[in-house]
Chains A and B, each alone.
Chain A
């Protein structure tokens, strides 16, 4: 990776997911690829859920960060499917720290992971259950921990 590309990735790491403000779009696996061509940098992003209302904000934030790093910006929104397997380990840890359990890597076997009990982000118990597949945002389900008797959220496996 040359110096300019390094500068670009560093700038992208400053762009956060508006719904999970401690996690960057790079850690979320939203950035598919970057291409530098002279003064211009083209960034391809893969949105998480199709109906995510933060999509436009993220796209504009990426463009602004690319310009801030000294490039002419182009942001391409891919139609390819995003997957929770694209989440980095640091993203999973930061989510846990704010009480949001993340889907575990499933390698495509998503049906199992949809219903599997995930460890409670507060007490670590695996005695948890899905309360509702739908939650406060499109990407989250509501879970309940029978160990510490409180509800928590889970990033839905895709």
Chain B
């Protein structure tokens, strides 16, 4: 791998690791507070999976020359985080969290599916392993989004409102990052635009089948989006919501930098 390719790969890994870490943190906010105990457990477990995936990406990043995972997570300022703005938004009501997870895991499944054929073997291995675990997320999320979208009038309204609000944010998962074209040319990673198209093809027909109105319309073989994507995360531009998460995460480390031997 050339130096430029390594730099680009490190950038991409940071984007993916930060996405997983931050959304994992948000999901964990349902621990002990789920609407029913099964969902409390489901969100806690999925949060744990996403943190495990974040650790996988951070560890690979470390092997490419970056700081170790703990240092990366506990010492960076918000502007050094590369997660999409979507993942840092507050958990909202259960409908919003459920919809976010559905849209996010749909994107993650497409991305990991593409990375499972990456020219870079360690990344390929990680993707194959994570895809196995994502199957359970997909089954869970699709079941609940469908059930709620086709449920009572109130649950339908809440899911629709969550979808309308979340959709432009979700498009930010496919924001280009620096060096993307180098990785695509080398067969290391898929083009973000390609992933976005695959994601729209997967999600839009399903959401329509569930009776929800998607902020996009068909144009021949493609889906055209009728909403402006919320971008900035991949360049380190974030909302105030990330600061709240980082404050909560960093408080112990700031008080006692050696508090790692729990």
Contacts and interface: CB of A to CB of B under 8 A. Distances in A.
Nearest to A158: B132
Contact of B135 (A51, A114, A138): A114
A49 B139 CA distance: 17
A149 interface: no
A79 B139 contact: no
Contacts of B51: 51
A135 B129 contact: no
Given A50-B129, A79-B129, A134 B52 contact: no
Prevailing SS type, chain B contact patch = helix
A30 to B, nearest CB: 14
A158 B130 CA distance: 10
B40 to A, nearest CB: 10
Interface stretch (B41-49, B163-171, B227-235): B41-49
B94 to A, nearest CB: 16
Contact of A132 (B42, B48, B49): B42
B42 A79 contact: no
Interface in B95-152: 122, 125-126, 128-130, 132-133, 135-136, 139-140
Give the bracket for the number of chain B residues in contact with chain A: 20 to 34
Contacts of B135: 110-111, 114
B50 interface: yes
Contacts of A79: 56, 60, 122, 125-126, 129
B122 A81 contact: no
Nearest to B136: A133
13 contacts: A50-B55, A50-B130, A51-B51, A79-B56, A79-B125, A81-B125, A81-B128, A114-B136, A132-B38, A133-B140, A134-B44, A134-B136, A138-B52
Q: 9 tightest CB-CB pairs across the interface, nearest first?
A: A51-B52, A50-B52, A134-B45, A79-B125, A81-B129, A51-B48, A134-B42, A132-B38, A51-B49
Given A114-B139, A132-B41, A138-B45, 7 more contacts: A51-B51, A51-B53, A53-B48, A79-B60, A134-B136, A138-B48, A142-B38
